Amino acid sequence: MQFINEQQWQNDIEKLEQETKPTTKEQLKETILTAIKKNVPQEKFGVFLSGGVDSSFIAMLCKQQNADFICYSVGLKGAPDIDAAKKVAQQFGLQHRIKEYSIEEAEELFKKTIKLLNNTNVVTIGVASVVYAAVELAKKDNITKLFSGIGSEEIFAGYDRHLKATDKHAECWRGLKAMWQRDLVRDIILMKKLGFQALAPFLDNDVIKIAMGIDISRKINNEHKKIILREIAEECGLMQDIAWRDKKAAQYGSWLDKAMEKLAKKNKFETKGEYLKSLV
């Protein structure tokens, strides 16, 4: 992921939108495989593994490349993302590090994340805490480059707002343009302050252009989101229940949001936002 400013990001996405033409599933598969291959570092690296289709697909393809890497998963004990990640690691014989947090440890993690970002937004801290925790694990292995599935939700229509949108394809482009404020500025600050590099194949220009050339009906319907990506992942060897797993956002799948809610109630705050402000 590059350190670019918001205006440059907006310009780049608008240029890609102008260049995009209708594409096929085979083109998309080849482009994703190429993007992952070219991002594989020479040195040992990591994969943020949440057990969703995005990160599991990346981990599987890295394994197929015989790359040297370790997968990292974090959350509360029993969290669905950790359970799913274990299944993926077992299927492909992956090196896998897991950190299961207690409620008390989660509070310390929230404090550190708030201090790092100087931010108490519930969603921002929820997501950033997952990244922070995984990076802390990776640094114990001297790993500073980690694959992330960021961008997949936008280019493959993975959010509820895509389902609700009148023009779902236009909503994908709108969401891509809005990513800088919603996601990238957070991750850029985390990368700078924690000293790691996020490898983001789904934000590769060619992947965006080819994915956005796929007809929207191949991405989303009333039953499933990210349909074409799930099909490709399964065709490449990912187990069906992981390829089609209905995954929640990182803070929910890791149960760190649940920890935040419990801590807010324990400390007699009406909202999670009030609780996070108390940690400053």
Using 50, 70 and 90 to split pLDDT, how confident is the model at 99? very high
Number of continuous H segments (helices) and E segments (strands) in the chain: 16, 5
> Above 80 in pLDDT, residue 89?
yes
Distance CA 48, CA 118 (A): 24
Using 50, 70 and 90 to split pLDDT, how confident is the model at 1? low
Instruction: Please tell me the pTM assigned to this model.
Output: 0.95
What pLDDT, on a 0 to 100 scale, did the predictor assign at position 190?
Answer: 94
Give the distance from CA 45 to its chain's centroid. Answer: 16
pLDDT > 90: percent of the chain = 95
Task: Tell me the three state secondary structure of residue 253.
Answer: helix
> Above 90 in pLDDT, residue 3?
no
* Mean pLDDT in residue range 114-118: 95
Domain residue ranges in the chain: 6-278
Looking up tokens 């779902």 gives: 168
Tokens of 137: 């694990």
* CATH classification number, 6-278, choose in 3.40.630.10, 3.90.550.10, 3.40.50.620, 3.40.50.300: 3.40.50.620
Contact 64, 56 (CB under 8 A): no
Using 50, 70 and 90 to split pLDDT, how confident is the model at 2? low
Summary mean pLDDT of the chain: 96
* Mean pLDDT in residue range 130-153: 96
- Which pLDDT tens digit goes with each residue over 222-271? 999 999 999 999 999 999 999 999 888 899 999 999 999 999 999 999 99
- Which pLDDT tens digit goes with each residue over 178-204? 999 989 999 999 999 999 999 999 999
pLDDT > 70: percent of the chain = 99
Q: Which one, of 255, 39, 4, lies nearest residue 129 by Cα?
A: 255
